Amino acid sequence: MDRDMSNQPGHRDRKKAATRQVISDVATRLFVERGFENVSIDEIARETGVARKTVFNYFPRKEDLVFDREEESRELVRQALAARGGQPPIRAFQTLMRALLEDRHPIFRINQRPIRFWRTVADSPALVTHARKLQGTLADDLAGMLADAAGKPPHDPHARLAAAMLMDTLVIAYGEALRAFREKRKPAAAFADVMERGFAGVNAALAGTVYV
């Protein structure tokens, strides 16, 4: 007997992903238009056409509606490290970042939209604090993934040093790319310049370890 398509796991997963994306898009638009503190979860739910509980099912905290790509970023790194072959972990990470920049992946998108987004973040003390905490969390997660790929303990100091340097490099490079866009310079070139200088520093600092 044929199963109802709506009950198939793949269909349910796609529907959930689509709902999550709609909620995120609506929330981001409202936050940019009116400011993070001036928009309530109830308003987001009404605008999206879902229940308040549904919003919290997908996004446990209001701040999660703003920073909703971190798990995608983690998964990209996991996949790159798993498929690296004989390439050292840091080199594999750097190869991934270069590919994302070259392919203009949404994570590194440089146009007017992220400029408005980051202006919204800068105007909100709650979002600034959350962004700083998130950067630290991502660095810790990256350190764990690098250490695991190299067969080292989770808190290996070399992995932690590499992860901190790599995260700082990307944050600074992205900020410089946004500045270049505002100044009508080439943002991708600005990003690449800072990124490659940072990568060179990481490679020098970790020389002689299993990570490079």
CATH for 22: 1.10.10.60
**Residue 211 counted as domain residue:** no
CB 184 within 8 A of CB 202: no
Instruction: Kindly state whether residues 83 and 51 are assigned to the same domain.
Output: no
* pLDDT reported for residue 1: 45
Q: Provide the terminal-to-terminal Cα distance of the chain, rounded to the nearest Å.
A: 55
Residue 60, Cβ neighbours under 10 Å: how many?
9
**Residue 53 counted as domain residue:** yes
The per-residue pLDDT string of the chain (212 residues; one tens digit each, 9 = 90 and over) reads 445 545 566 878 889 989 999 999 999 999 999 999 999 999 999 999 999 999 999 999 999 999 888 889 999 999 999 999 999 999 999 999 999 999 999 899 898 889 999 999 999 999 999 999 999 999 999 999 999 999 999 999 999 999 999 999 999 999 999 999 999 999 999 999 999 999 999 999 999 999 99
Range of the domain at 33: 5-62
Instruction: Kindly state whether residues 76 and 174 are assigned to the same domain.
Output: yes
C-alpha 4: how far from its chain's center? Answer: 36
**Residue 212 counted as domain residue:** no
Phi, psi (degrees; rounded to nearest 5) at 17 = -65, -40
Q: Is 38 helix (H, G, I), strand (E, B) or coil?
A: helix
Residue 156, Cβ neighbours under 10 Å: how many?
20
Give the pTM. Answer: 0.87
Residue where one domain finishes, among candidates 62, 80, 98:
62
Residue where one domain finishes, among candidates 40, 62, 84:
62
Instruction: Kindly state whether residues 98 and 195 are assigned to the same domain.
Output: yes
Query: Number of structural domains, the chain?
Result: 2
Cite the DSSP H helix spans in 60-211: 70-82, 89-102, 112-122, 125-150, 157-182, 187-205
Structure token pair of residue 190: 């600005």
